[in-house]
Amino acid sequence: MGEEQGSEHTHCQCVDELTAKLAQTEMEAADLRCENANLTEELETLRGVRTPPQFHLEKFVSDSTMVTFFTGFVSIYSFMSCFNFLSRSAEVMRSWQGARTSSDDTDRVGGKTGPKAKLPLREQFFMVMMRLRLGLKEQDLAERFDIHQSTVSRTFITWINLMNGSSVNYPSG
């Protein structure tokens, strides 16, 4: 009987140890599930966030020499004056679609309909002025602004059409 009691005690001790380990493992699993949920949520958030391009007007706002180099405007103030004048029309301009014609509002660049433009209007204007000033290729601009080459092409033609109808004196050379 003493042997039976000792074995029962050892059995109870084993059960207690296993129960404690199970409880600890369940707590660790709960922590891991929580961490997994947090990481999954963070991943979903990051998937929805597009990193801004490394090349943008803000980098050069305080350096008139660079603004002049890239755009031909003597200062950020003259660049912004021209942009502000054009922006009223730019907000409702239709994106150039090649030979296609569209009678609806789905291809507006700055308007409220259609897909969101890949670049803000000011960055679009900056990119167009860079191309005019420096003669940069579409692929170069696409890489700099983190957009597709066809987007560069459509944006350029759209802005040229807009500027062609305006009465602004643009910088030369």
Specify the pLDDT at position 108.
45
Specify the pLDDT at position 144.
94
Which portions of the chain are predicted below pLDDT 50? 101-115
Specify the pLDDT at position 27.
82
Specify the pLDDT at position 110.
47
Count of H-run helices and E-run strands, the chain: 6, 0
Residue 102 CB-half CA count within 13 A: 12
Specify the pLDDT at position 167.
63
Specify the pLDDT at position 55.
85
To the question of pTM greater than 0.75 for the whole model, the response is no
Specify the pLDDT at position 72.
95
In the 8-state DSSP scheme, what is residue 58? Answer: G
Specify the pLDDT at position 149.
95
Instruction: Judge whether 156 and 128 are in contact, CB under 8 Å.
Output: yes
Instruction: Judge whether 125 and 86 are in contact, CB under 8 Å.
Output: yes
Specify the pLDDT at position 133.
96
pLDDT single digits (tens) 100-146? 544 444 444 444 334 456 789 999 999 999 999 999 999 999 999 99
What residue has token string 């922590």?
A: 31
